[in-house]
């Protein structure tokens, strides 16, 4: 593909100024089939004869700089006798502020090949070359953090495109899932803030953009700035976006103007209307939700309204942050593939949605961007200015994305391919730790994030007070265990990892005899570190009770906390944490009006004041990992064999809820686990597509596929 096509650029490229490449052509004959193969360095928006080609938003997506995916669109039906192909290219993820530091002005670069087969069997190929024209676009400015400026009256004189000598070997076939428009949301209300601002409230923190229609005069302006939360007085607040301007400007032509952005996205619930001819109403604007086209597979439902809202917030957290790569957040000046966030959320993510292909693509980028020494950069894909692959930086949990995520995908979907693809990367990652730790058989040193955002953090720190060496060593142990397992699955010699695993465990046990924090106890239990589970579980339970049935854990402890409790006899305490409504808790944010998952337990206090403007996202999915506890423990659905070829269904009901249910569409079919109180009794309804072990009140039932009531 693209053998004869050239990368083309505008001769006078400016940073953040999109370029439109144009090609006009005639057809000789009727067309049997025509396929447009296309990609760019930057993001592109293709239009053929005035109609958008395909539906991949922000194509060609966000990948390692070592590759760029190309897309194929069947355009047979879109062609006419005379044609005009116009492709607007903006900086996208390839260049600019998304790199944290403004990069060199790398030109917006396009390559395409239109393959036409005529009815008579003859063929024609149209490639990008210097005969293409290039002009500055009506879209005058596009940058992912800052937004867009579109002038519908702007006209530029086209010039000939220039060929750029750039490696074509980086072009690869589309591997990921397309990012698409998913749904439209009408405003809940248009309000007047106390300070006089007009604010549109969409009622949901979402990721995407908006579409408006306005009857205007030439030169009139539409201007919006977005935010996630209003301040305690009900005024617009977006200081937490930091340097992301999250702004939009549009210059109208005479008459009806309808527009939606094409090369940016925003994370927002509210929109301040800075200018809108004739005043905005609910009727002339809607929000468009955009995310990777992943299929929903998991559904949770309970008798508690607040809990159901939490389930919904978790889903919205995933929708908002699965935009070609798993991002930390969609709004402020980050929106990066932070590896630790994805590591802790990947299990819940794989139950909520089918994310196998999504992660297969991202893990390929992880493989490509792995450091020379085997370290895993904390952000994948790497950006041009923040290149961790050449430094030594890797932290536990963040780096363990290399092992935990592929293994989880294997457990959820049962496909060995992902393990095969990632095996070398996993092994190199372990060698990195083994050769960089300051203490053999433990993991000391490197760039640790600790129990990120744990509430027991010393003042002024983002890191909870759990021992970072302990955390790192536990995850080192866990990764070695995974690689031993994967070696076995792939028919490779696992003995060296089995030996290493035992040595690490022995040394962790010798070195870390006592646990001081909730997170340390949770990890010691969940990862089978302690030999005295009974007392550690009691210690954990006591700590939680002494803290008023409230947690103190951060990114690392939280995903394992409820599992550690319910697997060791303290299911009721796990439910108390899940259903806790006071700060800090999941339902506290729900009661504060959250519609997504917050980055911090204390993102907003009871008085409506914000934690800080520094790092305070209201759409960060990490704590949404609690969904995996609801699927696996509260409703009890777990894969007994990878890909749910056999399942174990061991629900753990509580009196604190009237009913709870989970539906999981696995590769084998639908699994349902539902329990509810019926008088004095608890009724269980279970449906399984495979041979399963059902456990009710510690009694095991071995069943074939079917529907069961207990
Ligand atoms: C991100 C996090 C990330 C962390 C690690 C933050 O700025 O938003 O989610 O994991 O940095 O340091």
Query: What is the distance in A from the centroid of ligand 1 to the CA of 309?
Result: 25
Same domain, 248 and 302: no
The domain boundary residue, chosen from 230, 262, 292? 292
Query: What is the distance in A from the centroid of ligand 1 to the CA of 398?
Result: 10
Cα–Cα distance for residue pair 331/206, rounded to 1 Å: 9
Mutation probe of ligand 1 site: the residue of 98, 332, 341 with most atoms within 8 A of C-beta: 341
Mean pLDDT of the chain: 96
pLDDT at 365: 97
Band of residue 242 on the pLDDT scale cut at 50, 70, 90: very high
Report the Cα–Cα distance between both ends of the chain, in Å, rounded.
59
pLDDT at 385: 57
pLDDT at 611: 85
Give the domain CATH number at 269.
Answer: 2.60.120.260
Domain holding 271, by residue range, is 181-292
8 A C-beta contact, residue 30 and residue 118: yes
Q: Is 107 in the pocket of ligand 1 (CB under 6 A)?
A: no
pLDDT at 388: 61
Band of residue 182 on the pLDDT scale cut at 50, 70, 90: very high
pLDDT at 97: 76
Same domain, 531 and 602: yes
Nearest atom in ligand 1 to 622's CA: 9
Of 137, 128, 21, nearest to 84 (Cα)? 21
Mean pLDDT, rounded, for 545-568: 98
Same domain, 51 and 66: yes
- List the residue whose alpha carbon is closest to atom 1 of ligand 1: 328
Q: Which residue has the higher pLDDT, 17 or 461?
A: 17
Could you tell me whether strands 295-296 and 659-666 are parallel, antiparallel, or unpaired per DSSP bridges?
unpaired
Of 268, 312, 314, 257, nearest to 290 (Cα)? 268
- List the residue whose alpha carbon is closest to atom 9 of ligand 1: 328
pLDDT at 696: 97
Percent of the chain whose pLDDT exceeds 90: 93
pLDDT at 390: 61
- Residue 392's φ and ψ, nearest 5 degrees, are -100, 10
Q: Which residues contact 592 (CB under 8 A, 6 or more apart)?
A: 604, 606
pLDDT at 394: 85
Q: What is the pLDDT of residues 505-519, one digit of tens each?
A: 999 999 999 999 999
Mean pLDDT, rounded, for 205-231: 98
- List the residue whose alpha carbon is closest to atom 2 of ligand 1: 328
Mean pLDDT, rounded, for 188-207: 98
Mutation probe of ligand 1 site: the residue of 145, 335, 452, 598 with most atoms within 8 A of C-beta: 452
pLDDT at 99: 58
Same domain, 303 and 282: no
Beta bridge partners of 270: 201, 227
pLDDT beyond 80 at 544: yes
Residue whose token pair is 């004189």: 157
Cα–Cα distance for residue pair 518/586, rounded to 1 Å: 17
Nearest atom in ligand 1 to 599's CA: 9
639 located within any domain: no
Nearest atom in ligand 1 to 340's CA: 10
pLDDT beyond 80 at 384: no
pLDDT at 389: 59
Same domain, 199 and 147: no
Q: Which residues contact 361 (CB under 8 A, 6 or more apart)?
A: 63, 175, 176, 177
Q: What is the pLDDT of residues 36-51, one digit of tens each?
A: 999 999 999 999 999 9
Cα–Cα distance for residue pair 271/267, rounded to 1 Å: 10
Mean pLDDT, rounded, for 531-558: 98
Query: What are the start-end ranges of the H helices in 253-354?
Result: 305-321, 339-352
pLDDT at 111: 98
625 located within any domain: yes
The domain boundary residue, chosen from 634, 656, 690? 634
The domain boundary residue, chosen from 114, 149, 174? 174
Burial class (CB in 10 A: 0-12, 13-18, 19+), 307: buried
Mean pLDDT, rounded, for 585-592: 98
Query: Distance of alpha carbon 472 from its chain centroid, rounded?
Result: 24
Mean pLDDT, rounded, for 209-234: 98
Q: Which residue has the higher pLDDT, 461 or 507?
A: 507
Mutation probe of ligand 1 site: the residue of 317, 327, 328 with most atoms within 8 A of C-beta: 328
Count of structural domains within the chain: 4
Query: What is the distance in A from the centroid of ligand 1 to the CA of 35?
Result: 41
pLDDT at 387: 59
Same domain, 36 and 123: yes
Cα–Cα distance for residue pair 163/132, rounded to 1 Å: 10
Nearest atom in ligand 1 to 332's CA: 8
Same domain, 439 and 389: yes
Q: Is 451 in the pocket of ligand 1 (CB under 6 A)?
A: no
Same domain, 317 and 268: no
Same domain, 283 and 149: no
pLDDT beyond 90 at 106: no
1 located within any domain: no
- List the residue whose alpha carbon is closest to atom 8 of ligand 1: 328
pLDDT beyond 90 at 101: no
Mean pLDDT, rounded, for 568-589: 98
Nearest atom in ligand 1 to 328's CA: 9
Q: What is the pLDDT of residues 651-675, one digit of tens each?
A: 999 999 999 999 999 999 999 999 9
Q: What is the pLDDT of residues 247-262, one digit of tens each?
A: 999 999 999 999 999 9
8 A C-beta contact, residue 397 and residue 479: no
What's the count of helices (H) and strands (E) in the chain, helices before strands? 13, 38
Cα–Cα distance for residue pair 609/616, rounded to 1 Å: 12
Query: What is the distance in A from the centroid of ligand 1 to the CA of 328?
Result: 7
Q: What is the pLDDT of residues 393-424, one digit of tens each?
A: 789 999 999 999 999 999 999 999 999 999 99
Q: Is 341 in the pocket of ligand 1 (CB under 6 A)?
A: yes
Q: Is 615 in the pocket of ligand 1 (CB under 6 A)?
A: yes
Query: What is the distance in A from the centroid of ligand 1 to the CA of 321?
Result: 13
Band of residue 445 on the pLDDT scale cut at 50, 70, 90: confident
394 located within any domain: yes
pLDDT beyond 90 at 392: no
Q: Is 17 in the pocket of ligand 1 (CB under 6 A)?
A: no
Could you tell me whether strands 659-666 and 647-649 are parallel, antiparallel, or unpaired per DSSP bridges?
unpaired
pLDDT at 103: 56
Give the domain CATH number at 677.
Answer: 2.60.420.10
Nearest atom in ligand 1 to 462's CA: 12
pLDDT at 435: 92
Mean pLDDT, rounded, for 232-243: 96
Beta bridge partners of 693: 648, 702
Q: Is 333 in the pocket of ligand 1 (CB under 6 A)?
A: no
- List the residue whose alpha carbon is closest to atom 12 of ligand 1: 449
640 located within any domain: no
332 located within any domain: yes
Query: What is the distance in A from the centroid of ligand 1 to the CA of 448?
Result: 12
Give how far Cα 64 sits from Cα of 239, 273, 457, 576, 674, Å: 30, 37, 34, 43, 43
Same domain, 201 and 325: no
Mean pLDDT, rounded, for 89-108: 77
Give the domain CATH number at 587.
Answer: 1.50.10.10
Same domain, 460 and 590: yes
Same domain, 578 and 465: yes
């Amino acid at each position: 593909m693209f053998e004869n096509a050239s990368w083309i650029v505008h001769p006078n490229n400016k940073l953040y100024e999109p370029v439109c490449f144009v090609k006009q052509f005639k057809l000789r004959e009727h067309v049997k089939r025509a396929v447009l193969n296309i990609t760019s360095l930057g993001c592109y928006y293709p239009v053929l004869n005035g109609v958008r080609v395909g539906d991949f938003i922000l194509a060609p997506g966000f990948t390692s700089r070592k590759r760029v995916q190309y897309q194929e669109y069947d355009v047979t039906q879109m062609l006419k006798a005379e044609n005009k192909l116009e492709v607007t290219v903006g900086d996208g993820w390839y260049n600019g502020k998304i790199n944290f530091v403004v990069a060199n002005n790398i030109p917006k670069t396009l390559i395409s090949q239109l393959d036409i087969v005529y009815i008579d069997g003859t063929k024609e190929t149209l490639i990008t070359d210097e005969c293409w024209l290039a002009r500055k676009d009506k879209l005058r400015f596009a940058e992912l953090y800052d937004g867009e400026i579109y002038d519908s009256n702007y006209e530029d004189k086209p010039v000939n495109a220039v060929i750029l000598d750039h490696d074509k070997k980086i072009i690869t076939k589309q591997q990921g899932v397309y990012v698409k428009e998913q749904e439209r949301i009408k405003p809940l209300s248009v309000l007047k803030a106390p300070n006089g601002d007009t604010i549109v409230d969409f009622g949901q923190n979402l990721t995407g953009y908006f579409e408006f229609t306005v009857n205007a005069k030439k030169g009139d302006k539409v201007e919006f700035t977005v935010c996630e939360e209003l301040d305690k007085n009900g005024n617009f607040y977006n200081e937490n976006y930091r340097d992301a301007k999250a702004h939009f400007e549009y210059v109208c032509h005479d008459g009806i103007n309808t527009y939606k952005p094409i090369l940016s996205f925003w994370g927002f619930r509210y929109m301040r209307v800075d200018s809108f001819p004739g005043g905005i109403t609910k009727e002339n604007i809607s929000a468009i939700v955009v995310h990777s086209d992943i299929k929903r597979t998991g559904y949770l439902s309970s008798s508690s309204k607040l809990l159901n809202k939490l389930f919904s917030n978790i889903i919205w957290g995933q929708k908002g942050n699965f935009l070609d790569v798993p991002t930390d957040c969609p709004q402020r000046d980050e929106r990066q593939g932070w590896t630790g966030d994805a590591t802790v959320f990947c299990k819940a993510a794989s139950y909520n949605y089918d994310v196998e292909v999504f992660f297969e693509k991202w893990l390929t980028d992880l493989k490509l961007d792995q450091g020379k020494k085997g370290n895993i950069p904390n952000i994948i894909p790497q950006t041009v200015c923040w290149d961790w692959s050449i430094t030594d930086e890797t932290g536990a949990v963040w780096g363990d994305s290399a092992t935990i995520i592929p293994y989880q995908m294997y457990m959820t979907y049962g496909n060995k391919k992902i393990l095969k693809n990632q095996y070398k990367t996993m092994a190199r990652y372990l060698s990195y730790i083994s050769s960089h730790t300051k203490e053999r058989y433990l993991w000391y040193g490197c760039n640790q994030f600790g129990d990120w955002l744990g509430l027991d953090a010393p003042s002024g720190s983002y890191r909870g007070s759990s021992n970072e060496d302990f955390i790192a060593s536990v995850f080192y142990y866990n990764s070695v265990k995974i690689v031993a397992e994967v070696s076995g699955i792939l028919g490779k010699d696992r003995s060296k990892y089995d030996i290493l695993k035992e040595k690490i465990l022995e040394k962790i046990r010798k070195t870390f005899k006592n646990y001081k924090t909730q997170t340390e106890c949770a990890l010691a239990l969940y990862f089978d570190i302690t030999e005295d589970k009974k007392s550690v579980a009691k210690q954990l339970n006591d700590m939680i009770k002494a803290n008023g049935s409230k947690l103190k854990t951060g990114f690392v402890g939280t995903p394992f906390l409820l599992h550690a409790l319910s697997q060791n006899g303290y299911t009721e305490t796990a439910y108390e944490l899940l259903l806790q409504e006071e700060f800090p808790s999941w339902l506290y944010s729900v009661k504060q009006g959250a519609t997504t998952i917050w980055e911090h337990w204390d993102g907003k206090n009871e008085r409506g004041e914000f934690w800080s403007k520094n790092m305070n996202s209201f759409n960060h999915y990490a704590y949404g990992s609690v969904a995996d506890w609801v699927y696996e423990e509260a409703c009890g659905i777990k894969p007994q064999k990878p890909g749910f070829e056999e399942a174990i269904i061991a629900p753990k009901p509580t009196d604190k809820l009237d009913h709870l249910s989970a539906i999981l569409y696995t590769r084998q079919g639908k699994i349902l686990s539902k329990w509810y109180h019926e008088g004095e009794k608890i009724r269980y309804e279970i449906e399984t597509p495979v041979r399963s072990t059902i456990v009710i009140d510690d009694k095991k039932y071995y069943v074939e596929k079917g529907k069961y009531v207990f």
